[in-house]
């Protein structure tokens, strides 16, 4: 065999061995690799936040998708700023729901589109005794990761969440699930990250109308819109489209920016839409 072919074969063999050993090498350094998800390779690893608290991160396809605390007493606490905004709106909706005639002494139902590391669903179950949660995640590998590394199985055991009806896990496309659903929810959360257009059809007028039709009279829609507040038409299109769609469908629309100081920075902005008035600051009122 010619020497160049021998060298090439040796390089290919060495590369194959490296690829086979890569997951083991990463695990030895506390990094877990899942090479195939619907949106690219997934990495799970631990780090520290700005205050030195240990956190666990999920990166899918080169984009950070989820984060949670590692300490046992903090595992169901929310880390992301936009999730904290979500939680405040959920609590406001709970007060409006409880004060309404149809909501008095009844449980609330939440639909979360996009599981990821299941940070927000875990908080909904652990911190809201009156909420039953359905989570729709399109990628079963991502749910497997959440079960194993992001304490989802631990939450299910601790709260007997699946058998007790507190948590239902569905592997499906969120838009398809919503279109086929025959029930109404008090909270619908769009927290899907995958693809170039993370909100997909839910950013359209048809999507906003479908959300409205599946909300209770005091229900609220929450969406994470990853976008700058200002900038080129291309950069802000998803935000403008989402706001316009919700303004056409809902009586009240709010936008809580992640970074109000610099509107040109891409941030996790919280879109809130409801037919019930919520006690949010006037600065956040769009309609």
Catalytic residues: 191
Q: Under DSSP, is residue 50 helix (H, G, I), strand (E, B) or coil?
A: coil
154, with CB counted inside 10 A (0-12, 13-18, 19+), is middle
Q: Enumerate the H helices of 150-193 as residue ranges.
A: 152-159, 174-180
Taking the mean position of all CA atoms in its chain, how far away is CA 142?
A: 12
Phi–psi pair at 131, nearest 5 degrees: -115, 130
- CA-derived radius of gyration, the chain: 21
Contact between 130 and 94 (Cβ < 8 Å): yes
The token pair that represents 206 in the structure block: 């048809």
Query: Cα(217)–Cα(14) distance, rounded to whole angstroms?
Result: 62
Helix pair 81-99, 119-127: axis angle to 10 deg: 40
């Amino acid at each position: 065999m010619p020497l160049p072919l021998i060298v090439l074969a040796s390089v290919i063999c060495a590369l194959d061995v490296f690829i086979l050993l890569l997951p083991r090498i990463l695990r030895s350094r506390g990094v877990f690799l899942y090479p195939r998800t619907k949106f690219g390779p997934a990495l799970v690893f631990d780090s520290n936040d700005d205050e030195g608290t240990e956190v666990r991160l999920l990166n899918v396809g080169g984009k950070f998708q989820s984060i949670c605390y590692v300490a046992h007493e903090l595992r169901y606490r929310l880390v992301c700023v936009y999730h904290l905004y979500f939680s405040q709106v959920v609590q406001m909706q709970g007060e409006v729901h409880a004060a309404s005639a149809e909501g008095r002494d009844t449980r609330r139902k939440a639909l979360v589109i996009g599981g990821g590391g299941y940070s927000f669903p875990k908080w909904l179950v652990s911190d809201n005794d009156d909420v039953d949660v359905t989570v729709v995640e399109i990628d079963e590998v991502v749910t497997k990761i959440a079960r194993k590394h992001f304490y989802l199985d631990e939450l299910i055991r601790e709260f007997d969440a699946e058998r007790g009806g507190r948590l239902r896990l569905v592997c499906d496309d969120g838009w398809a699930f919503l279109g086929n659903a025959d029930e109404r929810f008090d909270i619908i959360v769009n927290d899907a990250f995958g693809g170039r257009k993370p909100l997909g059809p839910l950013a359209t007028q048809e999507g906003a109308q479908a959300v409205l039709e599946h909300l209770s009279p005091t229900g609220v829609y929450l969406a994470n819109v990853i976008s700058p507040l200002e900038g080129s038409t291309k950069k802000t299109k998803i935000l403008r489209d989402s706001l316009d769609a919700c303004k056409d469908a809902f009586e009240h629309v709010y936008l809580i920016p992640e970074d109000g100081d610099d509107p040109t920075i891409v941030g996790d902005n919280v879109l809130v839409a409801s037919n019930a008035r919520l006690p949010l600051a006037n600065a956040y009122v769009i309609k």
